[in-house]
Structure formats: C-alpha cells, structure tokens
Structure 1
Amino acid sequence: MIRLTIDDQEISVPEGTLIADAAAKLGIDIPVYCYHEALGPLGACRMCLVQVEKMPKLATACTTAVSEGMVVHTSGPAVDKGRKGVLEFLLINHPLDCPVCDKGGECFLQDYTFQYGPPKGRFEEPKIQKVKDGPINEFILVDQERCVLCQRCVRFMGEYVGERQLLLDGRGVETVVATVDGKPATSQFSGNVIDLCPVGALLSVPYHHKARPWNIEREEAVCTLCPVGCTTLNTGRDGHIVRVEGRPVPDRSWGWLCDRGRFGYDFAVNADRVTGSFLEGHPEAAARTTRQVGQWLSETVSQHGGNSVAFVVGGLHSTEEAYQLNRFAREVVKTDRLAVSRDVPGYLPRGLNGTFQDLDEADAVMLIGTDPYEAVPVVHLRLRDRVRAFPKLKLMGLAPRELARETLAVDTVVTHGGQEAAVLGAALQLVAPEHPAVQALQVPSVDGVGQDRLQALAEVVAESQHLTLLWDGLEADMESVLVALKAVRGDKATRVLPTWGPSNWRGFERAGFSAHIEDLRAILEDAKAGKIQMLVLWGADLLREFPDRKLVEAAYQAVPVLVAESLFPPAGREYFKAILPATAPGEVYGTYVNMEARLQVAMPSVQPPGQARPTKAYITAWAHALKTPFVLQDDWDPYDDNSGDLVPWVPVDENAVNPIQAAPSPEGLEVITGALVIENGIPSDILKPRIPLYPGRISVSDAERLGVQEHGTVAVSRNGETIQVPVEVDPRLTPGRIFIPLGMPLVPVNQIGVGAAQVSVSEEVPSA
C-alpha cells in the first residue's frame, strides 16, 4: 500500500492508484471531464490539475499515479488559476444556450464555471458554428457546438463496448464527434454516452426539451426488463416517467444500461396498457370487476374447496406483491396451488447461484446456450471488462449456435439443441469417470461433437480455479449436470448465473411461490382435467410464455373461471372472464431479485394511471368478499440478517443427481430458441425502430438452399402446427438450424416447440 497526503488528510491506497481516485476515497471532488474510472486515464481535458509538492508544475490528477509520501493540494491559487485557464479555453466557442439545453442544471461545465471559471470571456471573435441536434441514431442527438472533446463517448464505444461507431472527425478547432461513415450507431449500449457526456453535447431524443431539473423528481429504481436488474434513476414529471438513467453502485456496478432498459420505459404509458378492467369481455369499472372476481372466489371455494383455485405469478411484479398474494392464497383461499410463470424448463438451486463478483474473479467462464449480448446485455459488458483486466480468461460456449462475436471471443462447442447437458456430462466423464455424481448422470452418447471438443470442455472443468457459468435454462437436465459439476470440482469455486425470466422469479420464490416448472405444469394439467375451477394469473401471460402452448390452451378452455391481472391484455383474452389493471415498476415501492439472487429496492416515481391498483388493494377486497379476517401489514422484510442483500443461501444436495436424456439428433432443419431482450414482448413506441422486423435467423447455406435472400419469411411446421417466421440471413448461425426468439407474440415458438421441423419459403411479409 502507498501512503500519501491529500489536502492534509492521510490515506493508504494500492500501488498504481491515480490521484483522482485516491482523492475520491476521501470524499474530495476533483473536477474532471475526460476521466472515467472504467475507461482509464487519458489526460485530454486538463481540468483535473492539482499541485504536488516537489513537482515543478501542476499535474493532472487523472493520469498521475500516487507515490510514497506524496503530498497533494487540490485547491489553492495556482490550482484555481490553472483550472480557470482551461475553462476559458473551453468557453471560447461554447454556445451560451444553457436555458434551452437539456443538460442545464446538471452540467459539469456549468458547475465548474461557477466554481472556477472567469466571470467574462476575453475573446470577441464570432463563435464557430457547428451541427446542432444532429442524429447519432434514433435515440441520441449530438450538439457539436457544446462538445468539449473529452472523448468519453468515443472511448466507451470503441474500447469498452468494442463497437467502434463513434469517432473524432476533423482537425484542430474543427474537430467534432461524429458517427463512423455517417451511419447511425446501432450498438444496444449507445445510450450510455448520454450519461457519460459531462456537458450537453449528447442528448436523449425521447427526453429532448421535456423537463428541467427543477420540475422533475428522480428516484432510485431497478430495471425489470431482463434478469440483470440494472440499477437506475427514474425521472418523473406530470405523472409520467420521462427518462431513465444508469445509477452506479460503488464497487458493484458502473451504472451501464442497454438501450432496451434505458429507452423502453414508455411501456407504462403505451396505448395498449390496461388502465381499466374488462368483465366478460366488456370494459367495466375496476371496482365492480374486483367485486365480481371476489364473488367468483367465494362461490368456487365454498363449492369446490380452496385447492380448486390456483394462482400463477409473473410479469414485472415486486417481491412484496408476490408475498402479499401468497399470504392471501394460503391464509384466506386455503390453497397451495401456487406457481411462477416460466418460459424455460430449467431450475437453478440457490446453492449454485453466483454473483457478478464471480464473473469479476473467474479465470474461466462457460456460456451454456446463452448469448449474453442478446439475453443479458450488461453482463456482456462485464465479460469484456473481465477480459480487459484478465486477458488469460478462458471463455467457452456450449450451445446449438455459435456464440462468438467480434466484441467477445468465445470458443463455442456447437451441438444440437437439447444435447448440451449430455455433452457437458460427457466432459465430466473424462474428468472423473468414477465419481458417484457422474455415474448417476448415466450420460447418453451424443453425435456431432468430436473428442477434441469434449477434451476442451474437460480441461476447463479440471483446470479452472474459479469457474462461472451462464445458463439459459432451456434444458431441464442441465440442473443435474451442474450439481454433478459442483461435486466433481469440490472446493474449487463453481457458480452459475441464470439468464432466464421472469426477471424477478427468484423474488417470487422468496415470497413463497414455487419456481419449478413441474408445479406450473401440474396446475395446467389439473385445469385441463377439470380439477381447477378458478385460475388467477397475476402478471403471467402463459400463452406467450409457457413452453407448451397447446397445454395452456387446453387449460384455458377447461377452467370455468379464468382471471388475469396484467399490464397488457394477455394472449387469448377471449378465454378470460375478467382482466384487471396492474401497476408497473416505478409506480409502487418494492424489491426485486436479480440473477445474482440479490435484492434491490425500487422507489415509486409516479402514480399508477387510470384504475390500476396495487396487489394489496385487490386481495383486501377479495378477503372481504370471502368473509375472512385478513390483516395485511407492510412489515414483511425480504432481506435476511445473515445474507444481507442476497437471498439466503441453501446448500446444494450433491446426491440430487438424476439420469439425463439427450434429445435425438434431428434430420434436416431444427428449431432452436433463446432470449432476445430487445424484443421481450413488452411494447415500447420509443424502441420501435430497433424492434426487428425479421427476428428469426437462418444460416447462409440454408438460405441459399431455400431461396431466401437477405430477408424473407418462412413457414415452419412441427407437431402439426405451422407458424410464419420472418427471418434474416445470419452468417454466425450454424447450418441446419433456424433460430426463433422466445416470447415474441407474433412469432410464437412455443406453439411448435424446438427440434426437427419442416421449413419452406412463404409469401407472407412481416408487419411493422
């Protein structure tokens, strides 16, 4: 450790720490424009000048490393004069349009000018005119006149994300930030440059001229649109969320967001949102519909018993809402038929669940089925961050498609869909063939994976000291393989991060609902058989989400009373006797549990619109209808005294290993699937330009054989069902596969399932 003194305060920091970071640990603010801890030093803006004793002139705090005994002064006549000079140069051509700038009141240039800047400029020449409000893409504007050339945006996109879509164009005073070749930036991390920009040069199109700091309210929140659970700041004005920003959490998160999380907030005011209720297919006041549902509950329980009622929770509900519903179901209705909506069959035991710190410390990472760029984008950035810090990171993939990208080098073992568990089990056999857990797997043989590829997987299993896996949950047998993997590796760190939804499924489990798909399937089977008389879906949309759409349809048709509480009309709305409006994240207080099993708090930013009500309001009314005393107090704390902000850890039963089954190798084309966060079924008018018109993908060779050009529509048939799939030709896709994303309402892959299929060119064209 290095000891130094900053403004008469002593501190010890690791060798190599920069003065700016050491000062921040003491709570001393050194003004910066170009420097960001995640990007590293640059020294372009010269705003962070400090005085270091025994140095002949001022030093830049963001590029100068600390040394033993160093004495630093972050203020004083010399420092103030240096910063004043820098600001005077920055303001020579900067337009004085603060009153109409979206950054007004939140601008580093304003703040530092008030603190250090000259009261008046000495230059009388006309300011240079540049582009104002020029488009970077659909979501971002650039005002080149305001830019201070800090290069944060260019460095972030090029170095951190790896997608070089921004550059510095021109020379000298004519230098500007622009897109490469004038093409719009397509990266799904592009919105982060808005947060990174210290002035008003990069602006959000949806937020442009919408508000000012003095007429908004900003609340800490959590993005619930994918399992990552990114921390955010929600800006509310006039009852609407008008902006979402990233919220850094010290030592845990830089506050990056994907464009889905940053710009997809307008789902809460989407025209299709349910803000009133529907009773027997007709619009009705929510109060009356609530009373009618209560009457149906009372009649069903009295005639058929409590277990004739089932509850399925899903969607974007908080952990507290799930707990309230669980208590009502068990204590008032007297039913234990409770389950979480699922779109994949896999389940991850809590004892295997890792955290993002496991990614930061891993010497090997294995991607099982999941492409993090598409499914959990910010995790993709964390992996790139880990590679930057630890270039020797071994990054393996095991999936029915190639997972490598230009931005992330992945050594992918490509197998057929449904065979990943068998392949990883075969690799375990090479490592520890006599281990009881491996023998219990009874690993079947698989085709198409060479011995050299199995050996590559086995080496990662055997040699890595800290192995972290990302799993898409698409193969239920993988749970047993992961338990066996943990047993084989013994004391070596083995952690898994689940990349499937709903985003708060671990929170629903914490609240008392079963997250095992077998329990949800049992409810649907019983509904189909007439044993469930009333099915209540709380945020769940099973026709879109559950892997077996036919089973859901049969259950819907058989159950006498089907009720939904939802943000949007559920698929198959003709089956529902009542649809009630739900509240959205940002409208109620709650905690959400992300893929780390970490609880995070979200504060309300706005009031629910229309007749939307929180869960508590509905179940209180229903308890009254059931004439059962039910006191629902807000005293339940999902946090645990021992595990802090993580869901309590439960040890893994290493004996709970079952034999695995390998899917047969298909002939011809096979349907494969996976998450695509940009289109997760939650509508957004802002994101419409990014929603893919051709969400399916087909390989180059298969496209040539079928006669598909760059884009086209194909008819995909399996199990007696046919769906029309708009596809694009993807050079990364392995021949013999057609990829159809999960959860897209217009392309319901759960209607046909995955596996061997018949594919032919269709004349249909996708609708916008």
Structure 2
Amino acid sequence: MPDQVKLKIEDRDVTVDKGQTILDAALKLGIIVPTFCWDPRLKPIAACRMCLVEVEKAPKLVPSCAVPAIEGMVVKVFSEKAIRGRKAVLEFILSNHPLDCPTCDKGGECILQDHTFNHGPTGSRTIEPRNRTIFDEKYKFDDFPLGPVIWLNMNRCIFCFKCTRIIKEIAGDDDLGAFNRGYHTILHGHKNRPFRSEFSGNTVENCPVGALVANSFRYKVRSWLLKKTPSVCHLCGDGCNITLWHQGQKLFRIYSRWNRNVDNGLLCDRGRFGGLYADSDRRLRNPKIRREGKLIDTTWEEALDFVAGNLESIRAKFTAAGIGVIGNEMLSNEETYLLSRIARRVIGTNNIDFRFEDKFTPSTDLNLKLLYFLVKRIPFSKFGEFRNHLIIGTDTEVTHPIMTLWLKRAISSGRSKCYAAYHRKTDFTLHPVESIEYFPQGEYNFLLALYSALKGKSIDESALASGVASTLIQRWAELLKGSKTLLLAGEALYNNPRGSENIDLLKAICDLLGEGSVINIPYDGSNYLGNLLWGATPGILPGGSQNDEENRSIICKEWKCDNLPEAGGMDTSQMLTAASEGKMGALIFFGSDPVGFYPDREIATKAVQNASFKVACETFLTETGKLCDAVLPLAPFPECSGSLISSEGRLQFFEKAFDPAYSSAEGWRIILRLAQRLGFEGDYSSPSEIWSEMASIADKCGKVDYKQSQYGGQFLKMDFAARAFSNLDGFQSSPLPSPTAEFPMILTYGASVYQKRNLTAYAESMDKIDPGPKLYINPDNAAKMKLYEGDTVRVSSTKGSLTMKSAFDYRIRPGTVFIPTNFQEAEFNSLLSSKSDLTFVKIERL
C-alpha cells in the first residue's frame, strides 16, 4: 500500500503507516527500546537519546523515537554498537545524578533505576564533584517548592522535558517552562510565578525520575509497600479511570489508569489531590443522634432504630407524602436505585430528588427531552470529527476538565474551531476560542437571537436583551451555518427558569446547522445521568421510564408489591419550600447539603429546622447535618463498590480499595438496613447482586440496554423516544431585570476549578492550591471602584452580606462579580433568594 512502509528490525519484517517512527515499528513487534522522553501523547523531541538504534548505512546511531520508518530500512536494536551507545548515554546522565535513591520518593518505580540495571554501566569513571543546583539552602535535600503542591529537585532532573511538554502540548497552558541550557537548565513557572496548572499533578506521575514530587506523597511511604486498586474518579462527570494507592485503611495517592477513550492517562488536580479528602481525620467516625439538644455518638443499631421509629411515626401522622428524600449526583447507580426503592416502595412517596444546588430544577418533560439527546451522544474521542464546537451555558474547564482537553486536542489539530457562549469569558490559553459573554440568565435571549439569525430574521431585540452585539451573533450564524457542529449544552441552559424553551431553541438551532450536527449534554456530576435513569426524580422510575400507570405496573411486578404512589411528587425546591412552611414531616438527606448549597440559605435552614424529623447520611458533618436529629457516617468512595454513568453515557464499575474506616458504612448498606427496619423483606450481599436486579428491570421497562454494557466502561445502548419540541413561532425576547443604583452589580456563583463542593477542601493539598474564597471582579470595574487586588470588601444584597478578599479576573463580564461556592466560611447562598432569577449586589471596600 502506498501509505505504508515495510522495514526489517532485528531480522523481522514489519509494516507500519507512513510517518510512523522506528520506535513505533519496534513496539508493534513487541521489541522494547528503552526511552525517557518519549510519550505516545507528545511530539517526539529526541532529548534523552536513550532510544538510540543502529540503522544500516547510517553514519551514526539514530534516535528511534524521532526518525520515521522508511521503506527497506534495516534496523538493529541489540547490536553491539547500539548497546554501547545507550550505555554511554546512561553514563552521561548518571555523571551528575545524585546517588540518593534511599531518600528519593521515586525509588522502586524509577525508570532511571530500571534502565541503569538493564542497560547501564556498573560503576562511574568520573572523580570530579557532581554538579549541584541549590535554589535555597533552607530546604533539605535540595528540594524546592515549585508550586503549591509540587516540589522540584533539579539535581535529579535528566532533561527529558516531559513535564513542560505535558503542560504545553496536552493541558494547553504556559505555566511551566525550562530555561537556560545544558546542566544550567532549570524549571520554573511562567515569569517565576508558582506553578499552578490544574493539571500539574500529571508532571509528577510522568516524571521518569524523582525530580518532581507531590507534597501529599513526599517522604510518606515507599511505593512497593502500597497496594493498587483500580477505580473511577467521582469528582466530575468525565469518568476518568484512576488507581488508588493505599496501605491498610489509608489512601496515599491517586494516579491515572490509562483509558485512551476517556482520559488518555491524564487527571486534573481536583481528581488527583482533591480525592484524598477520603483520608481526612475530620470525617464522621460514628453514628450520631440528638439527645437533649446535642448530637452524641451512638451505635449503628440504636441510630437505625431511632431513625426508623421516627419515620414510622411521621408516616402515621403526615402520610408518606409528608416525607421527602434528597440524594446527590455522586451516589452510585446501586445506591440511587435502592434510595428510589425505599422512597417509593417502602416509604410510599415520590418526593425524591438529587439536585440540591439549583433553584430551577428541570421538570420531568425537560428531563426526558435531555435523555433523548443521549441516543446520538458523541464520545470524547470523536470530538475531532466535527468542524465546529459550540459550547453554551457552561465553563467546561471547571465542570469537565478532561473533556476540555479533548476539545483542545481537536482545536490544535487545525481541523476544528471552538465557539463558546457564557456569562463569563471562555479562555483555553494556548488554544484559540471565540467567546461571547451574554448577561447572566441570558441564555434564552442569546439562543433566540442565534436561531433568528440562522433563519434570516431580525435579531435586534433578542440580541439587545442578551447583552451581545447583533453583528457578533450574525457573524456566528454565518460561520456555523452549513457546518457539522457539536453543540455542548451546559447546566445553565436546563437549570434555568426557561429551561424547556432553551432546549427547544437548541434543538431548532442544531437542525439548522450542517448535516451530522449533534447535541451533547455534559452533565455536571459523576453520576447525574445514573440518578436520572434510576429514579432519583419524581417523574422518572428506575430504568429510565416515565412515571405512568403502565410502567408502575411493571415495576410492581418486579418488586412484588400491589401498588406504587401515583404520579406526582416534589422536587428539592418544592420539598424545601413546603418544609419551611411546616408542611413536611420528615426529610432524609443522603449526601446532600441544602443549607450549604441550595441557592436560598434562609429557605433551606427553615426547612431543616421546621421539619419534625430529619436525618443526614454524609461523610463529613455538613451545615445541614448540624441541624439534623440523626447523622449517619457515609463511607467515601475508596471504601465503596458500585458503578457510575459518565456524562458520555459510559457505564463503569469500581471496587473498593479497603473496608470502611471507623464505623462508617457503604451507602447501599445504610439504605438496606434502614429499609429492613421499615418493613422491607429483601436482602442483598453486594452491589453486584443489586445490579442483577437493576438490569432485569431495565430490560423489561427501561430505555437502557444494560446487558450490552457488561463490565469495562462501555456505552449504554439507549432508546429514548423523540420528545415533542415546541413550535418556536411564538417565542419572543424577554428583557431581564436591571441592576439598581443601590445594588449595581450582578452576582454570579459556581464551583472553583479545583473543588467539588466543600468535599475536596478536606484534602490537605487543596488548602494550598485553592486556599480560600475570594470575590472575583473584572479589573475595569475594580479600577472604577478604586479597588486593589487583595483588598477586603463587603458584598451585600437585599438578603445579607459577606466579607472576603477581592481578586481580579479579566474573564468576568463587566458589571458582574463571581463567588466560588466551595468554601464553608463563605456562605454564598445567604445572599441569594429562590424567588429571584438574578441577585444584585453592591461592593464596599473596607
């Protein structure tokens, strides 16, 4: 074939694609050529020279990682000349490398150790003093803090430049560079700033020696003493594959577990370092019940009897409709299914939801519309097949860091362009993105303007209402029309007072673009999709079917019961509002913290206080848990087994690394033991047994073929029927309320790129990466207010006020400010009202 070449390596013929290297050909034959700087994800630079091989008729040895294979080439990997050359390279590297293996954290997993043992010299011929780089003599062992969580020992560096290339080529950042030449080369952050990339931990994992070390693992334990357990990251919806390194019941570090279709062997720092919250000594250790106004430790038996007895009393007094269950999107499929079963079958209520951070939760009809788009979902690995990517209503770098790397990869190929519309600027640093910033809550008007532009209609009113120049929207319409486009719809579109209309507009826009255009919904949460599919909302039953009479009868047969509660039920906002008015008897919080995160702290607090009985199941004592009558310790993810469905629609199973520490318990066991005390006669011995029952239900009434999924992270086969989308003829622009003279700024809020709620704040490293809350403001607004970065300011709304430090961020739209939601000390929701679409604030310098 003209696009392939045939060559001979060690007297064995091999055919590879034109453009592939000698190293690629050798690996295809199973011949291992030692390397340091080579990585299949990076451009070859032949920096280390460790992969030298002999090529017939070549005047000297060549680096196999960088030299393309040529037709008829004859290569010798194990000739005397090649072996002697690689040995010389190792001797040169070792001539200045410190002999500190006993104190180096890389000992036992060091590639330099391995290559020296297999290919290197047995001793040194040099007698001169070794070159030594000392940044600051106050640090021991020549280690120096390169950034908040990364330590550098420049004397161990072998100048492979993997670290700088990973940050630049893959993460698309310019946070780390190599400066000077030869043995004078040093690594440091851009303009001597601390190294702070959200992918910084990948430099440690991929460093072939101990030059880069994570603070969380430094001088803690030897790697050969640790056990490794494969798992799945649960801190966002990307579903990255990870490896848990642990000893006994202690988690020491989290590394990637290469899945080329999901994470490509990479992790964000939130998943790598934030996941270590599970090892915090501040977690709940024992069940607690309230006695004489105080939460006191007790046994599981007493706590469960206490909870079950109170729920029985509440059910008798209020009926089952007076009991509500609020979970969270991080629960596994098995836990979600059991929670839905205990709510509907055992308690007898449809009051169940898992979305407690949004005031505008999607209706059942809107949820079914969203699920329909999953039928044609596009995996990350196929992003590069689209001419354009249109992101609306989310900052993917925060919500889906690894998915963003796939977007950057598509952009860097030169075949794709990216357009992003949100209430703050989208910036992929080294990858060009055309960004539009509309008004907060301006999604509807922006979508209407874009739709009208594509239809050739006037857009002046809708563009004005969205806060975007009509000429810019017209330009986007011209660029997008007729091209194959992937539309990525963020949570701001469906967690919105006009969510259903937004999705109708999005579907119409997709139909007007080029053939093959598709809508993807990147859900924000490790198992948001699993919660939807397994009945954690009032209107959807386990298996993904609508809560109607026909589907209830099928579930009844599987659950061996006479009936289930009829359609209806309340979502989180409705439950909290009803409870705040004294209309709810009991609230069950499973991993949820409405007092800390629901966008109206006053309503959430009153709801918990006014409910006759409330119980929380959580890993750490939350603001909600402090007000409850019982608190049950929930084991964190390394101590649990189950499965998750990523925002791609990929089902992945995970196993626990070790049994739950202290007296905490896996979520499914807590639900089961409580259900049994409430009259449930069933029993399960493991999540896999629960899964078997779930698959049977899905096969009979669901829209998901779980039997096709099996284990191993396969896509679910989904068959959701097309929903009836609205006729758009009557859609008109809707001006948003304007700020007042007293409260001239619009408040926006959301997660930090490094955090997942306040869970990750319990990880030691995260305090250093993201040390506390700040008020982020556009520098132009700050200049008008005569604010300096780091000034203490008071942020006030009609509901309350907060005091915090200020920080500048050019991505913030002028006229708005941003507060991260991940810090308990900043009660952001005390400024918010569930009755208002927008929150206006004033900023005062203190």
TM-score by length of 2: 0.83
User: Which whole-Å CA distance do the structure 2 matches of 1:518 and 1:297 have between them?
Assistant: 18
User: Which whole-Å CA distance do the structure 2 matches of 1:716 and 1:40 have between them?
Assistant: 48
Aligned counterpart, 1:766: none
1:511 aligns to 2:522 (yes or no): no
Shift of 1:42: 0.2
Q: 1:529 to 1:172 in 2, by over 3 A?
A: closer
Q: How does 1:85-484 map to 2 (within 5 A)?
A: 85-131=88-134, 132-280=142-290, 281-287=294-300, 288-314=302-328, 316-344=330-358, 345=360, 348-352=370-374, 353-390=377-414, 392-404=415-427, 406-432=429-455, 446=465, 448-473=467-492, 474-475=495-496, 476=499, 477-484=501-508
Shift of 1:531: 5.0
Letter in 2 for 1:298: E
Aligned partner of 2:4 among 2, 5, 9: 2
User: Which whole-Å CA distance do the structure 2 matches of 1:238 and 1:641 have between them?
Assistant: 35
1:657 aligns to 2:760 (yes or no): no
User: Contact conserved, 2:773 with 2:826, CA < 8 A, in 1?
Assistant: no
Shift of 1:498: 2.2
Letter in 1 for 2:662: G
Aligned counterpart, 1:699: 778
Aligned counterpart, 1:578: 630
User: Contact conserved, 1:325 with 1:615, CA < 8 A, in 2?
Assistant: no
User: Which whole-Å CA distance do the structure 1 matches of 2:633 and 2:35 have between them?
Assistant: 47
Shift of 1:10: 5.3
User: Contact conserved, 1:368 with 1:397, CA < 8 A, in 2?
Assistant: yes
Letter in 1 for 2:297: E
Q: 1:412 to 1:169 in 2, by over 3 A?
A: closer
Shift of 1:144: 1.9
Over the matched positions of the two proteins, sequence identity in percent amounts to 28
- SS of the residue corresponding to residue 163 of structure 2 reads helix
Aligned partner of 2:749 among 663, 669, 673: 673
Shift of 1:600: 2.5
Measured against aligned partners, the alpha-carbon deviations of 1:58-102 in whole angstroms (never above 9, x if no partner) come to 332210222345454443433322222221221112222222211
Structure 1 stretches of at least 4 aligned residues deviating more than 6 Å after TM superposition: 442-445, 515-518, 658-661
Measured against aligned partners, the alpha-carbon deviations of 1:712-768 in whole angstroms (never above 9, x if no partner) come to 3444444544344543132332221112234543334433346251303153xxxxx
User: Which whole-Å CA distance do the structure 1 matches of 2:13 and 2:448 have between them?
Assistant: 55
Aligned counterpart, 1:760: 843
Letter in 2 for 1:263: F
Q: 1:313 to 1:122 in 2, by over 3 A?
A: same
1:735 aligns to 2:814 (yes or no): yes
Letter in 2 for 1:130: T
Measured against aligned partners, the alpha-carbon deviations of 1:588-635 in whole angstroms (never above 9, x if no partner) come to 122222222222233322332211011233233223322331122532
Q: 1:149 to 1:343 in 2, by over 3 A?
A: same
Shift of 1:555: 2.6
User: Which whole-Å CA distance do the structure 2 matches of 1:109 and 1:704 have between them?
Assistant: 52
Q: 1:575 to 1:762 in 2, by over 3 A?
A: farther
Q: List runs of 5+ in structure 1 lacking aligned partners.
A: 764-768
Aligned partner of 1:45 among 40, 44, 48: 48
User: Contact conserved, 2:778 with 2:810, CA < 8 A, in 1?
Assistant: yes
Shift of 1:539: 0.5
Letter in 2 for 1:80: I
- SS of the residue corresponding to residue 206 of structure 1 reads coil
Letter in 1 for 2:654: A
Shift of 1:211: 1.5
User: Contact conserved, 1:666 with 1:756, CA < 8 A, in 2?
Assistant: no
Q: List runs of 5+ in structure 2 lacking aligned partners.
A: 135-141, 540-568, 696-704
Q: 1:447 to 1:709 in 2, by over 3 A?
A: same
Shift of 1:565: 0.3
Measured against aligned partners, the alpha-carbon deviations of 1:124-179 in whole angstroms (never above 9, x if no partner) come to 33322233212211211222222111111122234443433433344433334344
Q: How does 1:706-745 map to 2 (within 5 A)?
A: 706-745=785-824
- SS of the residue corresponding to residue 686 of structure 1 reads helix
Aligned partner of 1:627 among 679, 691, 700: 679
User: Contact conserved, 1:294 with 1:622, CA < 8 A, in 2?
Assistant: yes
Letter in 1 for 2:481: A
User: Contact conserved, 1:367 with 1:396, CA < 8 A, in 2?
Assistant: yes
User: Which whole-Å CA distance do the structure 1 matches of 2:749 and 2:829 have between them?
Assistant: 10
User: Contact conserved, 2:230 with 2:242, CA < 8 A, in 1?
Assistant: yes
User: Contact conserved, 2:482 with 2:514, CA < 8 A, in 1?
Assistant: no
User: Contact conserved, 1:666 with 1:755, CA < 8 A, in 2?
Assistant: no
Measured against aligned partners, the alpha-carbon deviations of 1:413-445 in whole angstroms (never above 9, x if no partner) come to 2221111222122211222369xxx99xx9797
Q: 1:169 to 1:415 in 2, by over 3 A?
A: closer
User: Contact conserved, 1:341 with 1:542, CA < 8 A, in 2?
Assistant: no
Measured against aligned partners, the alpha-carbon deviations of 1:37-71 in whole angstroms (never above 9, x if no partner) come to 22211011111123445545433221022234545
Measured against aligned partners, the alpha-carbon deviations of 1:501-528 in whole angstroms (never above 9, x if no partner) come to 3x32112223321298973333334434
Letter in 2 for 1:740: I
User: Contact conserved, 1:319 with 1:511, CA < 8 A, in 2?
Assistant: yes
